Amino acid sequence: MKWRRYLWLAVAACAAAAVLLAAGQTASAQCSLCRSALAGTPEAARLSARLNLAVLVLLIPPVLIFCGIFYAVFRQRKSREGKTTLG
């Protein structure tokens, strides 16, 4: 029964990824202020690409921390449920 839930979650995640990839529009990680500041420079395209990459790299640690906390809470909850059903 649990494998069906995991299979459904995997299918939903793949479908969401496919929708995001099919959108076709490039995502801009810059805020409007950063974009307007870069628009006036002669090397705007190169600087814009580097800034987008920097923003995405800086996004990785908070996402990993959130996932780690979520996983720890999930495991703690699972272990409590297991103890109450066995006792």
- Tens of pLDDT, residue by residue over 39-48, are 777 787 788 7
pLDDT of 36 above 60: yes
pLDDT of 79 above 80: yes
Separation CA 47–CA 7 (nearest Å):
42
Range of the domain at 33: 2-86
Separation CA 64–CA 18 (nearest Å):
22
pTM of the entire structure? 0.47
Domain count, the chain: 1
Separation CA 13–CA 86 (nearest Å):
33
